[in-house]
Structure 1
Amino acid sequence: MFKLLLTAALAVVGVCQNYSPPKNSTNSTYNNPIVNEGADPWMFRHDDYYYLTYSNNVNVTLFRSKSLTDWNGADSKLVFAPPPGMNYSTDLWAPEIHYLNGNWYAIFTADPLNDSPPPEVEMWCEYNCPAVHHRMFVVEGTGSNPWEAVWEYKAELDTYDQFAIDGTYFQHKDQLYHIYSCWHRKYDGWPANLCITKLENPWTVSSPFSERQIISVPEYPWEKTPFGRAGNDRLSSNEGPQQLTNSKTGQQFLIYSAARSDNRNYCLAQLELVGEDPMNPGDWRKHPQPVFYQNPTQKSYGIGHASFTTSPDDSEDWIVYHGMKDPTNGWSARTIRAQKFDWNEDGTPNFPRPGYGPYEVPSGQ
């Protein structure tokens, strides 16, 4: 996920007022990207609308559209703008909005120092660690409709005063969990792993630090950048976790981002919950290859940080993700895309090759 360049952040803020994504080529097809600037997209359906939020560095803004793939002229609504001088005032990344227990919850990561810790802090890190102060925060929206909800800051989601980004809610049976990108220790700097804790409610962690579990670490060459470097912890990342459920089989997956988000090798990876306890690392099975990754023939690079939704008639599954056409421009080059995906015979997701289209619009749109 890591830091948006300031120019990109300012451009995205401007999108809230002057938004002009690409138009579909015809009524029956669309082209990627569906949003010309943006990263870490979170899309969901509610009633007759699709809702979208993504990183803009300064606030949580929600967009809505009748179309999954056409955001031209979409409505926008400010969900939360942090006051200055707080631990969550700067560098807001990867917002997500979930409906839980009758209310809406926006979960996001932020820090107090514009991603720039003082030397007296950073000297403790083995590597450079600009995100050392990033933590997870929750804003509650009271009401059954996300557009009409009354939004108020709720709490910091406890990560034991350690680095935390890209947090998401994971639901299994009757238990709610928090899964996020973490370090082993407070000043590690790298690698970034996936941690899980139990929640008492959407803003309260019930697990003590001794029960926090790391369920995935970067272990394969493709989870590191560049590939093949002998010592590679500094650029090794597992982040952007997202729950994905096979509605026909009930299988539970965690689709996460691997490698580094500002270059071509960023990709999506897969954990499957093969046991009964998400808090037991042994109950997760990692796929040995990335499941959604760059497509050089289409100039589609840096594929990562996805969310999932369905077509208007519920007959199709769709992945919404960010990628880049020119990987030499790093974070500022990311745009938001969407494509339909299917399922393999063994119940695992079968993602397409990323590209630009034209593609058929979602069924029922």
Structure 2
Amino acid sequence: MRLLKQWLFPLFVCLANGQSFDPNNVKSPNQFDPAHVGTNKSSGTTYSNPIMTTNAGDPFMVHHDGWYLFTYSTNDNITLKRSRSLTDNWDTAETKLLFKPDPESGDPWSTDLWAPEIHQIDDRWYIIFSATPDADSPHPLQDAICPFECPAVNHRMFVLESDGSDPWASNYFMKGMLNTFDQFAIDGTYFRYNNQLYHIYSCWEDTYSAWPANLCITHLSSPWNVSSSLTQRRMISVPDEPWEQVPYGRAGRLATNEGPQQLTNPKTGQNFVVYSAARVNTPFYCLGMLELVGDDPMEYQNWRKHRDGCVFHQNPDAEVYGTGHASYTTSPDGTESYVVYHAQTTDDPTPDLYRTVRTQKFTWNEDGTPNFPKALNGPFPVPKGQK
């Protein structure tokens, strides 16, 4: 019992600190040798994780016109990086500041900018991200309405639009707030199916429920306009499995579905939403998976959850924990599939997390589902076509 209490106490101290994490306020628990970050500089034939040691969560990577474009949570701005290589050290990659709001402005997008993603839609680029005006410190009377602490109660989704077709040369301007019916919304992503565009994001059941965090979907008439009403919004996943809950099996508070991301099998065309489950500031953070099994993404009956556990998770033997909020890309030649994810190197994280960015190749099962590997440090062969 004493050992159990020793393990649980730091966990619940960590959990009690709410949802806001500032990556600028914590030092790395590790010293990383630059020679062993990303591509091996001697041989050029192997790489090791991490590929970026800067404190970065929620990595989003896309391959376009010979470049990898990469963005991630910085908390106070939106930064874009680019490289010809997937696995070279992203700490030193070319970097461009795209958007930095005034944190004192009180604008709805002014503080705690999380999980930006960059998407090409037609001939423009759109950055979708969540933010809040109050640094996740709502008025005490507003917080009191929630049955649990709800620091992120005012988080909403926003969209920036490029002024040109070149994602690097363009300037980006605020296009507006994505309508989430004046309710909590984080980790939004675009889902494309049958020439239609949808918004999938992490939501609450109502304005002040606070927990659990679910996955909601709405239909879009443009990258910044929601055509669904509140009654037409659908929850396509709730964290009803014990591995989606912290502590394991406790429904309600700290039960989480977030970080959704579309993943399409390039051969079969099967569509999946791979999302983050459990709790971000614990070692149990992992990836769960939905598969679209019908023709209409707006019908929750058309989504089937993989219920046998996380499809990608911590590996204590390699000291890799909290494997979550992933995106997906390919090798430079397009023949290999890669998952890009963040992880911790400790099973006893501080409230302000330190997460590094990692990538590994995955394959596809005979039934068309993704076959994710064990979370490992490498070395691995570099992606095919990488020079």
Q: In the aligned structure 2, how far is the partner of 1:333 from the partner of 1:38?
A: 7
Which of the numbers 86, 89, 92 marks the counterpart of 1:68?
Answer: 86
- Report if the CA contact (8 A) 2:20-2:136 is conserved: no
- Tell me the alpha carbon deviations over residues 79-136 of structure 1, each in whole angstroms, 9 at most, x when there is no partner: 1112332011000000000000210000000000011111110111011101000000
Name the SS of the counterpart of 2:206 in structure 1.
Answer: coil
Superposed displacement of residue 328, structure 1: 1.3
- Matched with 2:348 is 328
- Matched with 2:169 is 148
Superposed displacement of residue 9, structure 1: 2.6
Name the amino acid aligned to 1:182.
Answer: C
- Matched with 1:317 is 337
- Tell me the alpha carbon deviations over residues 236-288 of structure 1, each in whole angstroms, 9 at most, x when there is no partner: 00000000000100000000000100111100010000000100000000001
- Matched with 1:114 is 135
Q: What fraction of aligned residue pairs are identical, expressed as a percent?
A: 54
Matched, 1:250 2:261: no
- Report if the CA contact (8 A) 1:141-1:149 is conserved: yes
Name the amino acid aligned to 1:176.
Answer: L
Matches within 5 A, 1:276-355: 276-288=295-307, 289-330=309-350, 331-355=352-376
Name the amino acid aligned to 1:240.
Answer: G
Q: In the aligned structure 2, how far is the partner of 1:24 from the partner of 1:88?
A: 36
| Structure 2 alignment gaps of length 5 or more | 1-17, 28-33
- Matched with 1:125 is 146
Superposed displacement of residue 73, structure 1: 2.4
- Matched with 1:46 is 64
Superposed displacement of residue 11, structure 1: 6.9
- Report if the CA contact (8 A) 2:19-2:151 is conserved: no
Matched, 1:138 2:155: no
Matched, 1:93 2:108: no
Matched, 1:223 2:244: yes
- Tell me the alpha carbon deviations over residues 141-160 of structure 1, each in whole angstroms, 9 at most, x when there is no partner: 12121101121111000000
Q: TM-score, normalised by structure 1?
A: 0.94
- Report if the CA contact (8 A) 2:20-2:151 is conserved: no
Matched, 1:209 2:209: no
Name the amino acid aligned to 2:252.
Answer: D
Matches within 5 A, 1:175-190: 175-190=196-211
Q: TM-score, normalised by structure 2?
A: 0.89
Superposed displacement of residue 332, structure 1: 2.0
Seen in structure 2, the aligned counterparts of structure 1 residues 236 and 20 have a Cα distance that, compared at 3 Å, is farther
Name the amino acid aligned to 2:265.
Answer: N
Which of the numbers 226, 241, 249 marks the counterpart of 2:260?
Answer: 241
Seen in structure 2, the aligned counterparts of structure 1 residues 53 and 10 have a Cα distance that, compared at 3 Å, is farther
- Report if the CA contact (8 A) 2:38-2:49 is conserved: no
Q: In the aligned structure 2, how far is the partner of 1:332 from the partner of 1:198?
A: 34
Which of the numbers 31, 37, 45 marks the counterpart of 1:22?
Answer: 37
- Report if the CA contact (8 A) 2:39-2:382 is conserved: no
RMSD of Structure 2 on Structure 1 (CA): 1.6
Matched, 1:194 2:209: no
Q: In the aligned structure 2, how far is the partner of 1:346 from the partner of 1:218?
A: 25
Q: In the aligned structure 1, how far is the partner of 2:337 from the partner of 2:287?
A: 17
- Tell me the alpha carbon deviations over residues 215-251 of structure 1, each in whole angstroms, 9 at most, x when there is no partner: 000011000011134xx31110000000000010000
- Matched with 1:58 is 76
Q: In the aligned structure 1, how far is the partner of 2:323 from the partner of 2:342?
A: 6
- Report if the CA contact (8 A) 2:38-2:87 is conserved: no
| Structure 1 alignment gaps of length 5 or more | 13-18
Q: In the aligned structure 2, how far is the partner of 1:66 from the partner of 1:260?
A: 33
